[in-house]
Amino acid sequence: MSEQKEFLTYKEKPLVRSGNTLYYGDMSDKYVIMLQINSTKTVNNLLVADDVTVQLLLTDPDVSARNKVVKKSEKKGLYEAMDIGAIWLQRALNDK
């Protein structure tokens, strides 16, 4: 019997972290967002993301790694990165 893991969600989509990389969206959808934390800074004794790369990716396994990136941007802070990522993902999934 396999157990299904519960994931954190943001705007009703899964949000999974692996090291300095976060994936936002459902891997069974056509697109997901990948957020790569490039640098961090300390604010009030708390380590927070500073520079973040946001990428809208195709999930199709038949597409080469080079062609998976649909959009890419650099943002200051995780909030800005998640904000633009959520917009990109919603628009891409609605354009089916």
Residue 3, in any domain of the structure: no
Question: Is residue 31 situated within a structural domain?
Answer: yes
Would you say how long the chain is, in residues? Answer: 96
- What pLDDT, in 10s, does the model give residues 16-57? 999 999 999 999 999 999 999 999 999 999 999 999 999 999
Q: Is residue 37 part of a domain?
A: yes
At 96 the pLDDT is: 58
Q: Note whether residue 72 is domain-resident.
A: yes
Contact assessment for residue 53 and residue 35, using Cβ atoms and an 8 Å cutoff: yes
Q: Which domain holds residue 31?
A: 8-94
Q: Specify the number of domains making up the chain.
A: 1
Cα–Cα distance, 43 to 45 (Å, whole number): 5
Of 42, 41, 56, 64, nearest in space to 91 by CA: 56
Q: Average pLDDT, whole number, for the chain? A: 91
> Is residue 1 very low, low, confident or very high in pLDDT (cuts 50, 70, 90)?
very low
Considering the domain boundaries, does residue 23 fall inside one? Answer: yes
The model scores a pTM over 0.75: yes
